[in-house]
């Protein structure tokens, strides 16, 4: 570049922040716009009565991708973020009283899981080796490069992966794969590994078996907690961006991406002013990008036909008591997992016996709750919004959750709730523009979902790009960071 080229990034979600930082490192003058008053999109914060809650993501895997983003932008990661590996990946509870503390150490986990849930230590280890093989074989193809450029298919990663294709679980569902691995006689083990489908907002009864690789990230690579909470992740990228000269315009929405023929010329802001740019990157949900910001362009068929990932109902409860058996991540399983997913994905309703995830960050950082108390982030799977009566559904579901937890923890929980807020799919959509409040963009409930996801670039507008959870390679913090890397490399 002779004269510095200019780039506009629309949206300061995790992928928008990472893309801005990477473009700045490549010499671009970068402006980022977002209507929200804070950076980070879905990674928000709520505080009340001495309790602090991360409102969005709670599980942090592959922290090295945050470090990589900072390092490749010329920053020392440790000047911006510190994180620690958490000893226990999750504590699991079943209605019949079975409990499992899932150690973050693989050997320990396999031994305890075999003792409590059946099968053998060796068989469970074999399952993880298989998951690792899948991850190692495919990450260079599916996660680190654009799937929509022919050059990708000539890379050595692809050529290496081709012979393994029939063994990558593409032709069975995750549940079928888990069932054939552990057998009907070990339903709790099958359920535990089925759960990893929810890490990208899918159903284990529909998503392909290749999703087995997700458990490798949690147990082989580990789960981490950033000092200061999940919100510290976007804050780190935001601060680094500011230090490197990225210009952030929070509280400023983009109204339109300006396109002239085959060129994106910049953006029009809500006040009608125009910001010209050589490159435009949209971090806004791709369907919303086409419907609201690129109204002169046709929404691609793939984008129209893709189904949203699951959404969630989250209660933020300040709980005036500590339950010693609870840890940072806790799961209370449904007794009928298949019916629960049917309910969410087919009937598009909430289930009366939901699997409940409780995240309690005050177990790691005591400052997040008053002494002797805990901050509960209580989440159940929900369908994306398609016009359901959420007020009624939330009221009913709150009752189901309270009675299940009270039953499983042995006392009335409601009496301890000191402060409360709730997040619903329509609220997620209102706050971040994600279609229907989907957590992870589109679902991976189809075998070829990865190929249907929108590319990180526009097929005919050469300087228009896309990053974030609704485009390649998908949702969740690690994949969003990968999408920023792929997008920046495409430029």
Ligand X SMILES: Cc1cc2nc3c(=O)[nH]c(=O)nc-3n(C[C@H](O)[C@H](O)[C@H](O)COP(=O)(O)OP(=O)(O)OC[C@H]3O[C@@H](n4cnc5c(N)ncnc54)[C@H](O)[C@@H]3O)c2cc1C
The residue from 7, 23, 43, 277 that contacts ligand X (CB under 6 A) is 43
Of residues 13, 77, 209, 436, which one binds ligand X by CB under 6 A?
A: 13
Q: Choose the binding region for ligand X from 31-39, 130-138, 380-388, 454-462 (rule: CB under 6 A).
A: 31-39
Q: Which residues pair with 29 in a beta bridge?
A: 6
Asked if 63 interacts with ligand X (CB under 6 A), we say: no
Instruction: Give 318 or 469: the residue with its C-beta nearer to ligand X.
Output: 469
The answer to the question of residue 58 lying near ligand X (CB under 6 A) is yes
Give the binding range for ligand X (CB under 6 A) out of 57-65, 109-117, 121-129, 317-325.
57-65
**Which listed range, 32-40, 78-86, 133-141, 339-347, lies at the site for ligand X (CB under 6 A)?**
32-40
For ligand X, which is the closer residue by CB, 34 or 397?
34
Which residue, 174 or 253, is less far from ligand X as judged by CB? 253
Which residues sit opposite 312 in a β-bridge? 381
Using the minimum distance from each CB to ligand X, give the nearer residue, 235 or 433: 433
Contact between 16 and ligand X by CB under 6 A: the answer reads yes
Supply the minimum distance, in Å, between the C-beta of residue 476 and ligand X: 4
Cα distances (Å, whole numbers) of residue 134 to 128, 193, 474: 10, 15, 17
Task: Closer to ligand X by CB, 312 or 413: give it.
Answer: 312
Decide if residue 192 touches ligand X (CB under 6 A).
no
Residue closer to ligand X by CB (options 119, 483) is 483
Report the residue count for the chain.
491
Residue 35 near ligand X by CB under 6 A:
yes
Pick the closer one to ligand X by CB: 35 or 140.
35
CB closer to ligand X out of 14 and 258:
14
Task: Compute the least distance from the CB of residue 119 to ligand X, in Å.
Answer: 27
Q: Per rule CB under 6 A, is residue 453 in the interface with ligand X?
A: no
When asked if residue 433 is in the footprint of ligand X (CB under 6 A), the reply is yes
Minimum distance from residue 443 beta carbon to ligand X (Å): 13
Closest distance of CB 196 from ligand X, Å: 12
CB of 124 to ligand X, least distance (A): 24
Q: Per CB under 6 A, does 469 bind ligand X?
A: yes
Is the separation of the CB atoms in 344 and 203 below 8 Å? yes
Which residues inside 279-308 make contact with ligand X, applying CB under 6 A? 283-284
- The answer to the question of residue 9 lying near ligand X (CB under 6 A) is no
Q: Which position among 59, 70, 131, 277 is part of the footprint of ligand X (CB under 6 A)?
A: 59
Count residues binding ligand X (CB under 6 A): 36
10 Å Cβ neighbour count for 31?
A: 20
Window of 53-61, 117-125, 159-167, 401-409 that interacts with ligand X by CB under 6 A: 53-61
- Please list, residue by residue across 329-354, b when 16 or more beta carbons sit within 10 angstroms of its beta carbon and e when fewer do: bbbbbbeebeebbebbbeeeebbbbb
Q: Nearest distance from residue 200's CB to ligand X, in Å?
A: 9
Residue 254 contacts ligand X per CB under 6 A: yes
* 120 vs 252, beta carbon nearer ligand X: 252
Nearer to ligand X, 56 or 209 (CB): 56
Quick one: three-class SS letters along the chain? CCCCCEEEEECCEHHHHHHHHHHHHCCCEEEEEECCCCCECCCCEEEECCEEEECCCCCECCCHHHHHHHHCCCCCHHHCCCEEECCEEEEEECCCCCEEEEECCHHHHHHHHHHHHCCCHHHHHHHHHHHHHHHHHHHHHHHCCCCCCHHHHHCHHHHHHHHHHHHCCCCCEHHHHHHHHHCCCCHHHHHHHHHHHHHHCCCCCCCEHHHHHHHHHHHHHCCEEECCCCCHHHHHHHHHHHHHCCEEEECCCEEEEEEECCEEEEEEECCCCEEECCEEEECCCHHHHHHHHCCCCCCCHHHHHCCECCEEEEEEEEECCCCCCCCCEEEECCCCHHHHHHHHHHHCCCCCCCCEEEECHHHCCHHHCCCCCEEEEEEEEECCCCCCCHHHHHHHHHHHHHHHHHHHHCCCCHHHEEEEEEECHHHHHHHHCCHHHCCCCECCCCCCHHHHCECCECCCCCCEEECCCCECCCCCHHHHHHHHHHHHHHC
- Establish if 475 lies at the interface with ligand X (CB under 6 A): yes
11 makes contact with ligand X (CB under 6 A): yes
User: Are 226 and 65 within 8 A, CB to CB?
Assistant: no
- Cα–Cα distance list, 316 to 43, 51, 342 (Å): 14, 10, 26
State the minimum distance, in angstroms, from the CB of residue 282 to ligand X.
8
By beta-carbon proximity to ligand X, the closer residue of 57 and 308 is 57
Residue 314 or residue 401: which is nearer to ligand X going by CB?
Answer: 314
CB of 58: closest distance to ligand X in angstroms?
5
Rg for the chain, CA atoms, rounded? 22
* CB 250 to ligand X: min, Å: 9
Residues making contact with ligand X (CB under 6 A): 10-16, 33-36, 41-43, 56-59, 253-254, 283-284, 312, 314, 428, 432-434, 439-440, 468-469, 475-477, 480
């Amino acid at each position: 570049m002779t004269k510095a080229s200019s780039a506009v990034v629309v949206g300061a979600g995790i992928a928008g922040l990472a893309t801005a930082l990477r473009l700045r490192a490549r010499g671009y003058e970068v402006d980022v716009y977002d209507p929200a008053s804070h950076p980070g999109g879905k990674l928000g914060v709520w505080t009340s009565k001495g309790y602090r809650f991360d409102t969005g993501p709670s599980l942090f895997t592959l922290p090295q991708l945050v470090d990589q983003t900072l390092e490749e932008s010329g920053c020392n990661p440790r000047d911006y973020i510190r994180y620690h590996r958490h000893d226990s990946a999750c504590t699991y509870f079943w209605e019949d009283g079975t409990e499992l503390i899932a150690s973050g150490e693989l050997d320990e986990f396999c031994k305890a899981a075999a003792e409590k849930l059946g099968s053998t230590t060796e068989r469970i280890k074999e399952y993880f080796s298989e998951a690792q093989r899948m991850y190692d074989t495919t990450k260079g193809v599916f996660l680190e490069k654009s799937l929509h450029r022919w050059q990708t298919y000539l890379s050595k990663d692809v050529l290496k992966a081709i012979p393994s294709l029939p063994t990558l679980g593409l032709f069975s569902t995750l549940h079928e794969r888990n069932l054939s691995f552990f057998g009907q006689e070990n339903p709790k083990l099958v359920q535990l590994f089925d759960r990893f489908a929810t890490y990208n907002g899918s159903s284990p009864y529909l998503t392909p078996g290749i999703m087995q690789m997700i458990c490798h990230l949690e147990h082989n690579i580990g789960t981490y907690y950033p000092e200061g909470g999940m919100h510290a992740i976007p804050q780190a990228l935001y601060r680094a961006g500011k230090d490197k000269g990225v210009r952030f315009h929070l509280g400023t929405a983009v109204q339109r991406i300006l396109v002239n023929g085959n060129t994106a010329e910049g953006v029009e802001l809500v006040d009608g002013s125009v910001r010209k740019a050589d490159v435009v990157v949209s971090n806004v949900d791709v369907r919303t990008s086409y419907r609201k910001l690129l109204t002169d362009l046709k929404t691609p068929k793939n984008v129209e036909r893709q189904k949203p990932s699951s959404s969630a109902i989250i209660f933020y409860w300040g709980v005036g008591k500590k339950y010693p058996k609870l840890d940072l991540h806790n799961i209370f399983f449904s007794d009928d997992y298949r019916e629960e997913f049917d309910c969410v994905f087919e009937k598009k309703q909430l289930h009366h016996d939901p699997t409940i995830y409780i995240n309690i960050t005050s177990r790691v950082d005591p400052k997040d709750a008053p002494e002797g108390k805990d901050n509960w982030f209580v989440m159940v799977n929900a369908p994306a919004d398609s016009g359901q009566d959420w007020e009624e559904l939330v009221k009913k579901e709150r009752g189901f959750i309270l009675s299940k937890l009270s039953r499983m923890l042995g006392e009335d929980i409601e009496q301890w709730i000191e402060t409360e807020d709730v997040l619903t799919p329509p609220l997620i959509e209102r706050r971040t523009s994600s279609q229907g409040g989907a957590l992870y963009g589109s679902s991976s409930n189809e075998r070829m979902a990865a190929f249907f996801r929108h590319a990180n670039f526009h097929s005919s507008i050469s300087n228009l790009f896309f990053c974030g959870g609704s485009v390649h390679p998908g949702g969740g913090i690690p994949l969003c960071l990968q999408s920023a890397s792929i997008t920046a490399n495409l430029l």
